[in-house]
Structure 1
Amino acid sequence: MRSTENVGLMSQHFLLSAKARTLSLAKVARLSDDEAYDAFRLIRWAATDGAPVCPRCECAAVYTYTTRRLFKCKACSHQFSVTSDTIFASRKLPVRDYLLAIAIFVNGAKGHSALQLSRDLDCQYKTAFVMAHKIREALASEAHGAIASGEVEVDGAYFGGYVKPANHKGNRRDRRRIINQNGKRRVVVIMRERGGRTLPFVFKSEDASLVKIAQTVAPGSVIHADEATHWDALHARFLTKRINHSESYSDGDACTNQAESFFSRMRRAEIGVHHRIAGDYLSAYAGEMAWRENNRRISNGEQYLMVADAALQHPVSRQWKGYWQRNS
Structure 2
Amino acid sequence: MAQHFLISAAARSLSLAKVARMTDEEARDAFRLIRWASTEGQPVCPHCGCMGVYALKCRPAFMCKGCNHQFSVTSGTIFADRKLPVRDYLLAVAIFVNEVKGKNALALSRDLDVQYKTAFVLAHKIREALAAEVETLNLAGEVEVDGCYIGGHVRPANYKENRVDRRRAENQTGKRRVIVVMRERNGRTLPFVFKSEGESVETIAERVAPDATVHADEAAHWDKLHAIFLTKRINHQHAYSDGEACTNQAESFFSRIRRAEAGHFHHLSGPYLAAYSREMAWREDHRRVSNGEQYLIAANAALAHPMSRQWRGYWQRSN
Give the TM-score, by structure 1 length: 0.96
Rounded Cα–Cα distance in structure 1 between residues aligned with 2:313 and 2:183: 34
After TM superposition, list the pairs within 5 Å mapping 1:165-204 onto structure 2. 165-204=156-195
What residue in structure 1 maps to residue 151 of structure 2? 160
Rounded Cα–Cα distance in structure 2 between residues aligned with 1:11 and 1:160: 36
1:83 to 74, 79, 90: 74
Deviation at 1:164, TM superposition (A): 1.1
Amino acid at match of 1:73: C
Rounded Cα–Cα distance in structure 2 between residues aligned with 1:63 and 1:306: 27
What residue in structure 2 maps to residue 46 of structure 1? 37
2:219 to 203, 223, 228: 228
What residue in structure 2 maps to residue 6 of structure 1? none
Q: Is the 8 A contact 1:186 1:278 kept in 2?
A: no
Deviation at 1:278, TM superposition (A): 2.2
Give secondary structure in 1 for the equivalent of 2:181. Answer: strand
Amino acid at match of 1:100: L
Amino acid at match of 1:289: M
What residue in structure 1 maps to residue 276 of structure 2? 285
Moved more, 232-241 or 65-74: 65-74
Amino acid at match of 2:62: F
2:199 to 204, 208, 212: 208
Amino acid at match of 1:299: S
Rounded Cα–Cα distance in structure 1 between residues aligned with 2:127 and 2:170: 34
What residue in structure 1 maps to residue 94 of structure 2? 103
Amino acid at match of 2:89: Y
What residue in structure 1 maps to residue 56 of structure 2? 65
Deviation at 1:224, TM superposition (A): 0.5
Unpaired runs of 5+ residues, structure 2, are none
Amino acid at match of 1:125: Y
Rounded Cα–Cα distance in structure 2 between residues aligned with 1:117 and 1:237: 44
What residue in structure 1 maps to residue 305 of structure 2? 314
What residue in structure 2 maps to residue 55 of structure 1? 46
Amino acid at match of 2:224: A
Q: Percent identity?
A: 70
Rounded Cα–Cα distance in structure 2 between residues aligned with 1:77 and 1:205: 53
Give secondary structure in 2 for the equivalent of 1:152. Answer: strand
What residue in structure 2 maps to residue 249 of structure 1? 240
Q: Is the 8 A contact 1:22 1:300 kept in 2?
A: yes
Q: Deviations over 1:66-89 (max 9, x none)?
A: 010111211112111110110000
Moved over 3 A (4+): none
Deviation at 1:300, TM superposition (A): 0.5
Q: Is the 8 A contact 1:29 1:100 kept in 2?
A: yes
Amino acid at match of 1:25: L
Q: Deviations over 1:239-279 (max 9, x none)?
A: 11111111111111111111000000000000000001121
Give secondary structure in 2 for the equivalent of 1:187. Answer: strand
Amino acid at match of 1:109: V
Rounded Cα–Cα distance in structure 2 between residues aligned with 1:279 and 1:11: 39
Q: CA RMSD in A?
A: 0.8
Deviation at 1:56, TM superposition (A): 1.1
What residue in structure 2 maps to residue 259 of structure 1? 250
Moved more, 208-217 or 59-68: 59-68
Give secondary structure in 1 for the equivalent of 2:134. Answer: coil
Rounded Cα–Cα distance in structure 2 between residues aligned with 1:187 and 1:110: 19
Aligned length: 319
Q: Is the 8 A contact 1:152 1:221 kept in 2?
A: yes
Rounded Cα–Cα distance in structure 1 between residues aligned with 2:262 and 2:297: 27
Q: Deviations over 1:204-261 (max 9, x none)?
A: 1100000000001101111110000000000011111111111111111111111000
Rounded Cα–Cα distance in structure 2 between residues aligned with 1:294 and 1:262: 9
Unpaired runs of 5+ residues, structure 1, are 1-9
